[in-house]
Chains A and B, each alone.
Chain A
Amino acid sequence: MRATIVAAAAALALAVFVSGASAGAKASCPAAWRAGWQALADKVQAPVYCPTWMPNPLDARIGGQFEDIYSIAKDRSYLVSFLDHGDAGSGDVHVNFRGYPGRTKIPTCKTTILEGAKTIRGTTPCFSDAYAKVRGPNISATAYHTNQDADQWHILLAWRYRSSLYTVSEHVIVPYDSSTRVLANLRKLLNGLVLLRPQG
């Protein structure tokens, strides 16, 4: 269940300020973040999307203080996650980036539900319940509200580029404690995504 906090308004105000700083000239992957994202593109041998804006207080520096998960599977699919646990119950800010090079089908996730002594196992689409379309400068994404694994309780945007599937998602929790606020963040994120191609 959602926690409650009192610092939401302040956090939101800061997020808007950071957003304003990235407006203006044609977006490019921020210099401090570029190396990590370029290395990811090189490693998976596929284009990846580098963000130019992140919800406060996160940055998107791979290997930086907010990196939570950096995982590349054998099939080259990746999950890069940034997380901040706020102080004294002020909430979490959690953003996941995924890519599935060479495939566009929504993957299937395993589900395990414990009900008393029973364990109920099943499978389900990792992203489901499309409920909105979000358009960025070069991307037309679908918003999903029921997602699994690291994207559980997140709003997630998914889109296809060439023959690959990409997603970005954010947790619905204080300080971004409504799906409306999170979708607004994701719109901003999508608008600022910059495609980096593998080099060499």
Chain B
Amino acid sequence: MRLTRRRFLGGAAAAALGGAGVYELVDQLASAPKRHVAEPAGMPAEQHVFELGTVHSEGVEVVVPPLHSEVITATVKPGNIRDAQQELEDALRELDARYELSPKGLGVTVAWGVPYFDSYVSAQAKQHLPHDRRANKPALLPSRTFPSDPKETIIEHNDVAVLLRSDQREHIDRARALLFDDLHVFEMTSVRRGFAGGGFSGGKSLPQRMAVAAGVPGADLIPDGSELFLGFTSTQKAGLGPRLIANHETLGFVDLRSGYFHGGTHMHLSHISEDLEAWYLNFDFDERVLTAFRPGMTSVKQGAQTVPQGPDNVSSVELLQKQFKQTGRFGHSASIQPTSRLQRDMVGPDGTLYPKGTAIPQRADFNTLDNPFAWTADPKRDNFSQEASAGVHFVVFNPSSDDFERNRLAMDGVLPGGTKLSVPPRTRAQGFNSVLTTTHRQNFLVPPRRHRSFPLAEL
């Protein structure tokens, strides 16, 4: 049996742990990054928009993620939801007033699951929930599993998920206390914590130091300076969707119907375990590159972490098929790009030009040592353990459930137009999949800020 996180830390480190557990070490191991972010003139209509600064890493512009992230999932407590709506909105406005909307302050995103819309506002939802034109399905779909998911993957049924982001752990702690302890509208089902970044100024990276401190197998194999446990930079600016692209309305994929959800988006939340030793002991650097990106990338400097993924480096279905025919495998980024990047220039409703190759998803994923969560109301169902485990809480904003599903299916070799790169699930040929295990999944809808509290309840 492995040492537990608590036993491993011991001594002074353990004494330093409070409610945030091992994550308080983030503040001891990394200081808040210096950010060059323009102050928002006002609160944007979108809840998911969170302006982050950038730095240059290995010549590539990289977004500096917030140091701390946390997702709390919950069900709605029985009661009058119109009253609950007012109470929640008052609490959120208190947070808005207390903290600036930036990583120095706090970002709050409230997202609602299918069970909420079905149970509490089903009549209004039928009339107002957005509809995906491409899929001819609701923009918010019940979650599903994917070919490379193990059969144990749990599809969740939470009413709500609240994403909290900040460079200051204390701000997140206070927000959680206000929304889930002081208010009596939610019953928490899980708390998911983690961290990101902290490695751009050189030296040992935050993920490596955190993993070593927690005794995670393979922790010492994480390269110095790496942003994520798996060793590559994932927040390069060109790989993340620009400001409003993930809104329901921006690319025209979604029919907003009444317009109630204009400025809203879709959020997928999953927890993925990462087998660091399988990754670092089995795959040499060159294979890690072609696994993470695409076969044929032979010119990447040994040890590089930030590999350019700009619009000019984007893969297509044809290129994927050709490389798959030659090598019998496909890379993670390359497989997703035919669905995650624009295949032609597009213009948003506000006149913004989105050139071909622009990324659509806005990711907000973060490293975690949760196994699988920091806390759960149902430890047995969730296979909860106190032992630290390397993983990622994957949070991503797309215009709709279908748009997310297209990307996730592509990761398994199921491409648009029915093309299938046929390899057995979770084999080495399937990019990252052989070292990743998805434990939980759920889709949510993120209303615009004006309707973030119990959407549709007032109608």
Contacts and interface: CB of A to CB of B under 8 A. Distances in A.
Interface of A: 1-2, 4-6, 8, 113, 115-116, 118, 120, 124-125, 128-129, 131-132, 145-147, 152-155, 172, 177-180, 183
Nearest to B429: A115
Contact of A120 (B212, B284, B285, B327): B327
Nearest to A154: B281
A120 B328 contact: yes
Contact of A129 (B217, B285, B329): B285
A128 B423 contact: no
A179 B284 contact: no
Contact of A153 (B1, B223, B282, B423): B282
Contact of A178 (B277, B283, B287): B277
A39 to B, nearest CB: 33
B422 interface: yes
A146 B283 contact: yes
A96 B219 CA distance: 23
Interface size range on B against A: 20 to 34
Contacts of A129: 221, 280, 284-285
A146 B280 contact: yes
A149 to B, nearest CB: 13
A186 to B, nearest CB: 12
Contacts of B1: 4-6, 8
Given A113-B328, A178-B2, A179-B277, 7 more contacts: A2-B217, A115-B423, A116-B429, A118-B328, A120-B328, A179-B219, A179-B221
A32 to B, nearest CB: 32
A116 B423 contact: yes
Residue among A6, A125, A178 with max Cβ neighbours from chain B (10 Å): A178
A118 B218 CA distance: 30
B284 A128 contact: yes
Contacts of A178: 2, 215, 217-219, 277
Contacts of B187: none
B158 to A, nearest CB: 31
Nearest to B327: A120
B428 A132 contact: no
A177 B281 contact: no
B422 A120 contact: no
Interface string B325-348: 001110000000000000000000
B278 interface: yes
Contact of B285 (A118, A128, A155, A172): A128
B427 interface: yes
B296 interface: no
B27 interface: no
Contacts of B170: none
B21 interface: no
A155 B327 CA distance: 28
A131 B328 contact: no
A172 B277 contact: yes
A195 B27 CA distance: 47
Contact of B221 (A4, A120, A145): A145
28 contacts: A6-B1, A8-B2, A113-B429, A115-B328, A115-B329, A115-B423, A115-B424, A115-B428, A116-B422, A116-B427, A118-B328, A120-B327, A131-B221, A132-B220, A145-B221, A146-B280, A146-B282, A146-B284, A147-B281, A153-B282, A154-B281, A177-B2, A179-B221, A179-B280, A179-B281, A180-B212, A180-B215, A180-B220
B286 interface: yes
A118 to B, nearest CB: 4
